[in-house]
Amino acid sequence: MSVLIPPIATPAPATVPPGGLARLHEWVITVDHKRLGVMYVLTGLAFFVIAGLEAGVIRWQLAVAGNTVVSPQVFNRLFTVHGTTMVFMVGIPIVFGFANYLVPLMIGARDLAFPRLNAFGFWVFLFGGLLLYFSFLGGDGLYGAGSAPDVGWFAYAPLTGRAFSPGNSTDYWNLSILVMGFGTVATSINLIATTLAMRCRGMSLERMPLYVWMMLVVSGMTVLALPPLSAAQIMLLLDRFLGAHFFDTQAGGSAVMWQHFFWFFGHPEVYILMVPGFAMVSEIIPVFSRKVIFGYPMVVAASLAIGFLSMTVWAHHMFAVGMGAPLNSAFAASTMLIAIPTGIKIFNWVATMYGGRIRFATPMLFACAFLFQFLCAGLTGIILSVVPFNWQLTDSYFVVAHFHFVLVGSLIFTIFSAIYYWFPKVTGRLLSERLGRWHFWLFVIGFNLTFLPMHWAGMLGMPRRIYTYPADRGWDLWNLVATLGVPFQAAAVLIFLINVAISLRRGERAGDDPWDAWTLEWATASPPPPYNFETAPVVASRRPLWDLKHPDDPDGPHE
Amino acid sequence: MDGNVNRIAGTTDASRQAAGGSFLTTVVMAVTPTPSMFAPVSTPAFAIREVSFLVLAITMFIFIVVAGLTLYAIIRFRRRPGDDGREPPQVYGSTQIELAWTVVPFLIVIVLFLTTTRYIFAIEGRSVTRDALQVTIVGNQWWWEIRYPGLGIVTANELHVPVSDPADPRPTFITLQSADVIHSFWIPQLAGKTDVIPGKTNRMWIDPSTPGTYVGQCAEFCGVQHAGMLLTVTVHPKEEFALWVAAQQAAAPDLSEVRAGRDVFTSVACINCHTVRGTPANGVFGPDLTHLMSRATLGAGVAPNTRENLRAWVNDPASLKPGALMPAMKVSGSELDQLVAYLVTLR
C-alpha cells in the first residue's frame, strides 16, 4: 500500500575538483536528462534576455509618433527576430527543458528513454538558434541584400520569395527553424516513449502527475503539428533555390497555402507553449494551497480535449483572407469550443485554492498573477473568435496585446513560478524570497503597463508591425504608456538574474523537500544524483509523498 | 441609425464643410481622423460594433465573476499568522460542480456562435446591386491603385465614393487585388479588414452614410514601408461626387508655359512607370499622375502634397519614405524645377 521511498543518496564528492575545462567537457558530452534540461532552460533564458532587449528597442521606437530611433528596415528585423526568438528559442526550449528535467523524476525513472537522442535535440536547437543570430552577419548572402530576416515571424508568402526578399536573410529564418524543429520533434518522441514505457511500479496512467499528463499531450501535439511546418519550409527552400512555385504567386503558386501550412502548426504551437504552463501551475497551486487538485480526471480530460481541438482551429488566424462565410463560421465554432476545456482548468485551479491554506511564496505569487492574466488572455481570445469583430481586430495591436497576455502574462509567469519552485531541487538552494517579491511586483506592474494599453491602441485602429505612426490618430498616449512599462520589466528580470547569481552561492539550503510537496521528484536529494533514485520507487496513488506523510489517510481510497 | 452616426462621428460636420468647400484641394488635412472601430459610418462597421458590444458585455461579465471568485479564494483562504500547520480538508472533486461549469460555458458558446454566424452571413452575403459603384483597388508595395472601371478613372491612395443614403442607397463594392505581396484593406469606420492577396480576388462593400474623410492603412505586413501605406476614403454628397468624377475624367491640362517640364518628364525615366493621360507617358508600375495635384498627400499618405514636398520626392523619394521603390531621379536643379512646375499643373 504505502510508498517505498529510497534513502536519500548524496553523490560522492569528486576527489579532485575538476577544472573549468574538464567541467565544460562534462556538460558538452552529457546525455543526462537533468543536465540537458538545465542547459535548455539556461539557453532559453539567455535568448529571453536578448529578445527582451530587441523588444525594448521596438518600444523605444514606438514611444512617440514619427520617432526615428531605428530605420524601418532595422525595425522590421527586430520584430521578426524578436518573435521568432520568443516562440522557438525561449518558449520551446524552456518548456521542453523543464519536461526533460522533471518527467523522469516525476515518474520514478532513471533517464529519458533515448538519452543520446535527447542530447542531439539540445545541440540541434542550440546551433539552430545561433544560426538565426548569425544572420545579422551573414544575411547578405549570395544576392547581396539584407541582414537578419525581416519578413515577420510567420513569414507570409510571397514576401519570402526571392523577388521580394533577396539576399539570404529569409533562408536563415527558414533553415534555423527547420533544424530546431527536428530537435523538438525528437524530444517529443522521447518524452512520449519515456512516459508510456518507463513509469515506476504502481504508476498507472491515471496516477501520473498532471504535469506528466500534460507534457504527454504537448508532445503528441508537437509530433502532429511540427512536421507540416517543416514540409512547408522545405517547399519554401525549393521555391527559393530550385525555382519551384509552391508559394510563388507570379507563377501560379498560392500565398494562402503557406498560411494554412503555417497556422496548422502555428495554432497548436500556442497550446504547445501554453499547456506546459498549465502543467506547471497544476503542480504548484495544489502544493501552496495545501490541497489535492480538484477534479483530477476532469483536468486530464480537459487537457486531452485541448490537444484534439487545437488541431482544428488554425484558420482563425485567417478570417480576413476571404475564406467565405461557411469556413469562417466553422473555425469560429472550433475556436469557441476550445475555450470550454480551457475555462474548466481555471475553475479547477480556483476550486483547488478554495478551502485551502494558501502560502504566498514567490512561486504562488506568479501562479496567482497567471490566473488573472490568463483569464484576460482567454477572454480576448473569445473576442477574437467572433469573426466580424475579428475583421476589425486581426493584425491590429489588439492581437499583439492578446498573444502577449498568453505568452508573457501567462506562459512567462508560469515559467518564473516554476523556476522559483524547482530551483531548490535543481541546485539544492532556495532563491531569495525578498528579491523574488521585488521581481514579482515589478514584473506584474511592468507587464500590465506595457500590454494592457495595446488593447485600446488596436481598437483605435493601430495595425501591428508599423515602425512609426502619424501623430494625429489618437494612439500616442497608449504607446507612451506601453513603453513606460519596459523599464519595470527590465528591472524585474535584472533582479531575477541577480537573485539566481546570489542564491546559487549563498541561498538558503533547501533540503530534499522544501515546499512540503507530494510528487516523486521531492523524494530524492537536491540536486538529485545522476541515477535519480537509489531504488526504484513504488507508488500507490497520485500523491506518493502525501501517502508517506499521512499514512493514516492515504490518497488511494479517494481516487 | 442616422442620428446615431452623427452623434458618434463627431468630426463629420467639419469634414462635410471641408468637402463641400473645395473638394479638389486637400480634404484630408481639414479633419481630425479617428480610425476607431467604435465610430462607424457604414453598415458593416455598424454591425460589427453591435456584435462587439454584446461580446464585450459577455466577456466582461465572465471576467468579473471568475476574477471575483479567484480574488475571494485568494483573500479568504490565505494562510494567516498563527496557523496551526494542519492540512486543510482534502476535496478530490465534485461531479455536480464540474458538470455545472462545463455546461454553462457550453451554453454561452452556443449563444456566441449563433450570433457570430448571423453577422458573418449578413455582412458577407450581400450581393452587388445595380446602383452600386464598382471600384477595383490594387495593392502595391507601398501604395494603392484605385480604378473605377465603369468611369474610366485611375487614381491612387485616396478613394472617393458617393454617400449612401438609406433612402437612396448607393453602396460601393470593392474588388481587391494585389500586384506583389499580401496587403490588407482597412478603414475601421467603414468596415473590417479584407486581405489583398496576389492570385486571389477578394470583394467587400461599404455604404458610408455620412460625408467626410476616413482614414486607414495597410494592415498586413508587406515589407519595408508597410507603415507608410496609408489610405483615405472621402465620402461626397451625390452632386459633389459627380463633379469629382467629371474632373478626374478630364484630360490632363497641357499648358505651354510648362512645356519645358513636360519635355523633361517624357524624356527621362518617369514615363516607364507613370501614366499621364494624353501624353506619351503610359507606364503602369507607379501611380497614375494625370490628376496628381487633386490628391492631398504624396507617397500613400506619408507627406502633404505641397510643391516643396513634391520637389523633395522627385529628387529622392527616400528622403520622405525610406525604402520606397521609386528611384531618386538624379535630374539637375534647373530640370527639377521645370519638372515640378509641370507636375503641379496636373490638377
pLDDT tens, position by position, B82-132: 888 899 999 999 999 999 999 999 999 999 999 999 999 999 988 888 889
For an interface test with B, the pick among A260, A349, A357, A366 (most B C-beta atoms closer than 10 Å) comes out as: A357
Q: Is the per-residue pLDDT at B238 higher than 60? A: yes
Could you check whether the bond before residue A341 is cis, i.e. omega within 30 degrees of 0? no
In this predicted structure, what is the pLDDT of residue A4?
54
Phi-psi region of A230 (alpha: psi -120 to 50; beta: other; left: phi over 0): alpha
CB-based contacts of A460, cutoff 8 Å, min separation 6:
A473, A474, A475, A478, B34, B35, B36, B37
Q: Which of A250, A291, A395 has its CB closest to that of B90?
A: A291
Q: Which of A340, A375, A467 has its CB closest to that of B109?
A: A340
Q: Rounded CA gap, A161 and A483, in Å? A: 34
How does residue B24 score in pLDDT terms, banded at 50, 70 and 90?
A: very low
In this predicted structure, what is the pLDDT of residue B85?
84
**Span between the terminal Cα atoms of chain B, in Å:** 37
Task: Please judge whether B105 and A343 are an interchain contact, meaning their C-beta atoms are less than 8 angstroms apart.
Answer: yes
In this predicted structure, what is the pLDDT of residue A20?
82
- For chain A, say whether B119 makes contact (Cβ under 8 Å): yes
- For chain B, say whether A76 makes contact (Cβ under 8 Å): yes
- For chain B, say whether A484 makes contact (Cβ under 8 Å): no
In this predicted structure, what is the pLDDT of residue A8?
52
DSSP conformational letter for A201? B
- For chain A, say whether B70 makes contact (Cβ under 8 Å): yes
Q: How far is B129 from chain A (nearest CA, A)?
A: 20
Task: Please judge whether A294 and B323 are an interchain contact, meaning their C-beta atoms are less than 8 angstroms apart.
Answer: no
Task: Compute the mean pLDDT over every residue in chain B, rounded to the nearest whole number.
Answer: 89
Q: Is the per-residue pLDDT at B15 higher than 60? A: no
Q: SS3 for A407?
A: helix
Q: Rounded CA gap, B211 and B191, in Å? A: 16
**Chain A residues inside the 8 Å CB shell of B230:** 470
Task: Please judge whether A336 and B113 are an interchain contact, meaning their C-beta atoms are less than 8 angstroms apart.
Answer: yes
In this predicted structure, what is the pLDDT of residue B285?
95
**Residue keyed to cell 488566424:** A317
In this predicted structure, what is the pLDDT of residue B84?
86
Whether the complex's predicted ipTM is more than 0.95 is answered with no
Q: Is the per-residue pLDDT at B8 higher than 70? A: no
**Span between the terminal Cα atoms of chain A, in Å:** 14
- For chain B, say whether A254 makes contact (Cβ under 8 Å): yes
In this predicted structure, what is the pLDDT of residue A143?
74
Q: Which of B79, B125, B199 has its CB closest to that of A255?
A: B199
For chain B, what is the HEC assignment? CHHHHHHHCCCHHHHHHHHHHCCCCCCHHHCCCCCCCCCCCCHHHHHHHHHHHHHHHHHHHHHHHHHHHHHHHHHHCECCCCCCCCCCCCCCCCHHHHHHHHHHHHHHHHHHHHHHHHHHHHHHCCCCCCCCEEEEEEEECCEEEEEECCCCEEEECEEEEECCECCECCCEEEEEEECCCCEEECCCCCCCCEEEECCECEEEEECCCCCEEEEEECCCCCCCCHHHCEEEEEEECHHHHHHHHHHHHCCCCCCHHHHHHHHHHHHCCHHHHCECCCCCCECCCCCCCCCHHHCCEECCCCEECCHHHHHHHHHCHHHCCCCCCCCCCCCCHHHHHHHHHHHCCCC
**Residue keyed to cell 517505498:** A4
Q: Rounded CA gap, A475 and A457, in Å? A: 6
C-alpha cell recorded at residue A157: 508568402
Q: Is the per-residue pLDDT at B22 higher than 50? A: no
Q: Output helix, strand, coil percentages for chain A, rounded to the nearest 5.
A: 70, 0, 30
Q: What is the pLDDT of residues B303-322, one digit of tens each?
A: 999 999 999 999 999 999 99
C-alpha cell recorded at residue A516: 512540503
Furthest C-alpha separation in chain B: 100
Q: Which residue of A has its CA nearest to B178?
A: A249
Task: Please judge whether B192 and A391 are an interchain contact, meaning their C-beta atoms are less than 8 angstroms apart.
Answer: yes
Q: How far is A112 from chain B (nearest CA, A)?
A: 31
C-alpha cell recorded at residue A189: 518522441
Q: How far is B259 from chain A (nearest CA, A)?
A: 37
- For chain B, say whether A250 makes contact (Cβ under 8 Å): yes
Q: Rounded CA gap, B144 and A380, in Å? A: 32
Q: Rounded CA gap, A351 and A69, in Å? A: 49
In this predicted structure, what is the pLDDT of residue A492?
98
Q: Which of A156, A322, A555 has its CB closest to that of B200?
A: A322
In this predicted structure, what is the pLDDT of residue A18?
67
Q: Rounded CA gap, A484 and A470, in Å? A: 20
How does residue B33 score in pLDDT terms, banded at 50, 70 and 90?
A: low
Q: Rounded CA gap, A151 and A157, in Å? A: 9
Q: How far is B74 from chain A (nearest CA, A)?
A: 7
Q: Which of B87, B124, B224 has its CB closest to that of A325?
A: B124
Question: pLDDT > 70: what percent of chain B?
Answer: 90
Q: How far is B256 from chain A (nearest CA, A)?
A: 39
Q: Rounded CA gap, B44 and B122, in Å? A: 9
Query: How does pLDDT run along chain A (559 residues), one tens digit per residue?
Result: 445 555 555 555 555 566 888 989 999 999 999 999 999 999 999 999 999 999 999 999 999 999 999 999 999 999 999 999 999 999 999 999 999 999 999 999 999 999 999 999 999 999 999 999 999 988 887 777 779 999 999 999 999 999 999 999 999 999 999 999 999 999 999 999 999 999 999 999 999 999 999 999 999 999 999 999 999 999 999 999 999 999 999 999 999 999 999 999 999 999 999 999 999 999 999 999 999 999 999 999 999 999 999 999 999 999 999 999 999 999 999 999 999 999 999 999 999 999 999 999 999 999 999 999 999 999 999 999 999 999 999 999 999 999 999 999 999 999 999 999 999 999 999 999 999 999 999 999 999 999 999 999 999 999 999 999 999 899 999 999 999 999 999 999 999 999 999 999 999 999 999 999 999 999 999 999 999 999 999 999 999 999 999 999 999 898 8
CB-based contacts of B170, cutoff 8 Å, min separation 6:
B131, B132, B133, B162, B163, B164, B207, B238
Higher-pLDDT residue of B330, A398: A398
For the segment B11-23, the average pLDDT, to the nearest whole number, is: 37
Q: Rounded CA gap, A50 and A57, in Å? A: 11
